[in-house]
Every structure is written in C-alpha cells, then in structure tokens.
Structure 1
C-alpha cells in the first residue's frame, strides 16, 4: 500500500494536536479528501481515549502525491509562523526524512526537499 506517514517531534499532546490538524487540513483538500487518517496510540491506564501519534496518507501516488506535497508544504508554512515544527516523513518503503521549519521561509523551502524525498525518481509532475 502506498502510505506516506507524518510524525511530529513534540510532546505527546502537541504532537496529537499537530497530527490532527494536518490530517484535517489534508482531508479538506478536494484532491485528498478522505485519504488522511490518524494512527492512534492506545490510552494509558486510567486515561480516556488515545492520542494520535501520526497522520497517514493512503494511496499517495500520482496526482494524490502531488496534492499531498503541496498541501503539506502550505500547512507547514502556516504552522511555522507561530512555532518551530519538526516532522518525520516516511515513504511506503520505510525510508524516513526529518524536516524542521522555524519560520515560513524554512517551511516553503522544505517543499522541494519533500518533493525530492517522496519522488525519488526525480520527476516533478506539477
């Protein structure tokens, strides 16, 4: 299955909020609608409900992959306006890359890195 995974380097509550925000953002995109899901961590004893520890995007190939790269980059730019965001992105083969954006300019530059990482064939299909 072609699944791309986003995990945030942040305390559990912050990572949960970032993960939910990214999944909602991607699912609101017309081209990605319904393709993002949350990977949940079971609740600790005595807690209700679990926390999301990753956003997974299913079927990330072709036009969906292009929409994912663009959507994730815009989301990062928006978040980097108010905080430093560190995210690990995993390809379907398990290979990972760590990306950090401390301001909108950093986040915008990460789009090229994300595109190169997720499209190892080097083809830009936009």
Structure 2
C-alpha cells in the first residue's frame, strides 16, 4: 500500500526536524500508533547518516483518517506557536495539496482543508 506523504517547505535540516516531529507525534497517538514512518534521503558524499525529507503514513483510511486529520491539526497548532509552516500532503495517487499556517489559529483551517482533500472521492489538488 502506498503511503500518504507529508513534506515541508523548509531547508533540509529543518525539514528533517519537522518530519521527525510529525512522525513522533502521530505514532504517540493511540489511534495512529506505528502508522507513521520517515522517508530518508541518503547522505551526501562525505556526510554520515541521512536526513528525513518526509513523514509517511500507511493505511490512512476509515477511522484512522479522522484521527490523522485531527492529530495533524493539533500538531500544527502546537508546533508553530511563533512561526509559520508550509507543508505538502501527497496522496498515494500522486495528487497533492499545499497547506500553510502563519499563526496557531490557522490550525483549524489546515485541518479542514486536509479533511476535505483526504475524503474518499475528493479530486481536489493544487
């Protein structure tokens, strides 16, 4: 099964931090435990270890989908108290949506946009 992928519009080290934070947050949720994983980029020549360039969520359907959307909304609100965040969510079929929050109050709008995008049969994409 293809994953739902969350990538971030940020420099590589910051995107790594964001992907790791989101994956931890989702895996700590009792309804999503173990559903999130990191997509790693191989290290550049001369570097040790790779960076995560995305958080991926497997089996994001049915009741898990509602838990995922709510968890991402809370994560956006908690994580970005003093700065903005831009993320791209890509469905297994390749369609995607770009979301951004410039204020913690934007978390509800991000959650609603994500919910509509992930609804079965949704054709919305950027």
Q: TM-score, normalised by structure 1?
A: 0.93
What runs of 5+ residues in structure 1 fail to find an aligned partner? Answer: none
Equivalences, count: 122
Q: Note the alpha carbon deviations across 1:54-82, whole angstroms, 9 max, x for none.
A: 00000001011111100011001112212
Q: Note the alpha carbon deviations across 1:89-122, whole angstroms, 9 max, x for none.
A: 0111110000010101112211110000011447
Correspondences of 1:43-58 after superposition (within 5 Å)? 43-58=43-58
What runs of 5+ residues in structure 2 fail to find an aligned partner? Answer: none
Are 1:4 and 2:4 matched, yes or no? yes
Aligned partner of 1:33 in structure 2 is 33
Deviation, structure 1 residue 22: 0.1
After superposition, the CA RMSD in angstroms is 1.1
Q: Is the contact made by 1:3 and 1:91 (CA closer than 8 Å) also made in structure 2?
A: yes
Secondary structure, in 3 states, of the residue corresponding to 1:100?
strand
Aligned partner of 2:19 in structure 1 is 19
Q: Note the alpha carbon deviations across 1:20-62, whole angstroms, 9 max, x for none.
A: 0000000000010000000000000111100000000000010
Secondary structure, in 3 states, of the residue corresponding to 1:5?
strand
Q: Is the contact made by 1:2 and 1:61 (CA closer than 8 Å) also made in structure 2?
A: no
Q: 1:72 to 1:91 in 2, by over 3 A?
A: same
